[in-house]
């Protein structure tokens, strides 16, 4: 078994050497040679809706902007960019194989991460073994701190489930102090990774804040009729659903239909998607959902405008800007270090600060600091509200405006 120079260095650096096979030695980038950027992401299958909304447009936008500047700046020279895109078909095994192909057959210089917790964890060991940076805004896992230890190039930007659920409970607490709701809260969750992990974290947080969970049920993926559930919780004033996009739409539609009007209402994934506000328009203003933006910040507004201009669609208000900011940080780290050696770039990403769409950021924790994880829908976007210490917090409008009559 032969060790390449980079691996030897890595092992000297105390990172440990995993048994490796077929690792290509890092070649020096010739002048004018293209830089290969590759990724395998869910173009089809159940993950495609999320991937196509949150991640893929940002990869396109990032590449587009670098190309506009004449290429990616490495060692003082702009190199053209070659993009290789595969479809993992929402399947872990496909993802593993496609990433192997990108690394070994296509010899990419930069690997971008797939969409979702499961896919990212499936390819995590591969990224790590081959020394690639894996920055993703769509993997939410309680093992994030542990994984960072295990995989030094892993940037789980979105952090843990608790960091998403607790701010929701904090907002409910705020609403309770303002007298809009009482101790009773109803919660439903989809029986899949996001729903269960967030509901679990929320359950604990509700307990800590002295809330009383009067309804706490999980429904299978694909459920589209929530009328019986809503009938049961008619009189509850605070409601949270940790749901997936199709159910988020159905829950909101059912709530409007049955005139279920809690004073505080949180909906899960999909609420921050353009598809949601396109469908419901102003009627969902003041509904709480995941993510959130600092709309007062010019850089955020500029990002939103660029996104729409280049990709032809509006950005979502959650993972999009986070993903894009991380790509910007990576680009700047490449410029500063003048190399495509991922371990050097990763080191710079962890130590430097970067000027991005999210402002001046540091990725020392390998997670994205100061991002909103809950916000309130207003005029087609989500205004960031929590966690409370994130700068640029918007105004929390209580109670939720009543649904318009149908």
Of 226-265, binders to another protein (CB under 8 A) are: 227-229, 231-232, 245-246, 249-250, 253-254, 256-259
Q: Taking CB under 8 A as the rule, does residue 101 contact another protein?
A: yes
Q: Taking CB under 8 A as the rule, does residue 16 contact another protein?
A: no
Contacting residue, 19, 76, 210, 312, with another protein by CB under 8 A: 19
Q: Taking CB under 8 A as the rule, does residue 134 contact another protein?
A: no
User: What is the β-pairing status of strands 288-290 and 374-378?
Assistant: antiparallel
Q: Taking CB under 8 A as the rule, does residue 81 contact another protein?
A: no
Question: Could you give the dihedral angle defined by the CA atoms of residues 75, 17, 22 and 121, in that order, rounded to the nearest 10 degrees?
Answer: -80
- Nearest-angstrom CA–CA distance, 88 and 316: 22
Q: Taking CB under 8 A as the rule, does residue 150 contact another protein?
A: yes
- At 134 the three-state DSSP class reads strand
CB of 155 to another protein, least distance (A): 16
Q: Which is closer to another protein, CB of 164 or CB of 354?
A: 164
In Å, the largest CA–CA distance within the chain is: 71
Report the candidate in 311, 272, 318, 303 with the shortest Cα–Cα distance to residue 137: 318
Instruction: Using the rule CB under 8 A, give the single segment among 72-80, 168-176, 194-202, 304-312 that binds another protein.
Output: 194-202
Report the candidate in 276, 272, 290 with the shortest Cα–Cα distance to residue 371: 290
DSSP, res 23: P
Q: Which is closer to another protein, CB of 166 or CB of 300?
A: 166
Question: Total number of residues binding another protein (CB under 8 A)?
Answer: 73
Mask for 20-59, x = binds another protein (CB under 8 A)? xxxx-------------------xxxx-xx--xx------
Q: Taking CB under 8 A as the rule, does residue 225 contact another protein?
A: yes
Enumerate residues 342-381 that contact another protein by CB under 8 A.
Answer: none
Report the candidate in 355, 334, 352 with the shortest Cα–Cα distance to residue 343: 334
Instruction: Using the rule CB under 8 A, give the single segment among 73-81, 221-229, 354-362, 391-399 that binds another protein.
Output: 221-229
**DSSP structure string for 246-274:** HHHHHHHHHHHHTT---SEEEE-TTTTSH
């Amino acid at each position: 078994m032969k060790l390449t120079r980079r691996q030897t260095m890595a092992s000297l650096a105390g990172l440990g050497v995993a048994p490796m096979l077929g690792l290509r030695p890092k070649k020096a980038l010739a002048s004018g040679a293209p830089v290969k950027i590759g990724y395998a992401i869910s173009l089809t299958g159940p993950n495609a809706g999320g991937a196509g909304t949150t991640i893929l447009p940002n990869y396109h936008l990032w590449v587009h902007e670098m190309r506009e500047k004449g290429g990616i700046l490495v060692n003082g020279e702009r190199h053209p960019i070659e993009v290789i895109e595969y479809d993992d078909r929402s399947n872990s095994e496909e993802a593993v194989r496609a990433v192997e192909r990108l690394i070994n057959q296509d010899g990419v210089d930069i690997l971008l991460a797939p969409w979702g917790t499961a896919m990212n964890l499936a390819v995590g060991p591969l990224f790590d073994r081959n020394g690639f940076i894996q920055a993703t805004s769509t993997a939410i896992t309680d093992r994030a701190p542990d994984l960072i230890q295990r995989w030094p190039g892993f940037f789980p930007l979105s952090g843990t489930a608790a960091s998403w659920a607790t701010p929701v409970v904090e907002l409910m607490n705020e609403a309770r102090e303002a007298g809009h709701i009482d101790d009773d809260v109803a919660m439903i969750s989809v029986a899949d990774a996001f729903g269960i992990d967030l509901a679990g974290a929320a359950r604990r947080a509700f307990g800590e804040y002295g809330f009383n969970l009067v309804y706490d049920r999980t429904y299978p993926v694909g459920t589209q009729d929530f009328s019986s559930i809503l009938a049961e919780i008619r009189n509850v004033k605070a409601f949270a659903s940790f749901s997936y996009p199709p159910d988020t739409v159905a829950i909101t539609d059912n709530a409007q239909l049955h005139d279920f009007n809690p004073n505080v209402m949180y909906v899960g994934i999909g609420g921050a998607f353009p598809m949601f506000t396109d469908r419901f328009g102003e009627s969902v203003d003041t509904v709480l959902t995941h993510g959130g933006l600092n709309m007062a910040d010019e850089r955020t507004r500029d990002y939103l405008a660029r996104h729409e201009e280049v990709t032809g669609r509006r950005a979502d208000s959650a993972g999009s800007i986070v993903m894009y900011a991380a790509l910007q940080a990576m680009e700047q780290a490449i410029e500063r270090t003048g190399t495509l050696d991922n371990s050097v770039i990763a080191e710079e990403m962890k130590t430097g600060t970067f000027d991005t769409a999210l402002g001046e950021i540091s990725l020392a924790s390998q997670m994205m600091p100061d991002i909103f994880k809950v916000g309130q829908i207003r005029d087609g976007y989500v205004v960031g509200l929590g966690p409370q210490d994130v700068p640029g917090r918007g105004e929390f409008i209580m109670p939720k405006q009543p649904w318009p009559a149908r």
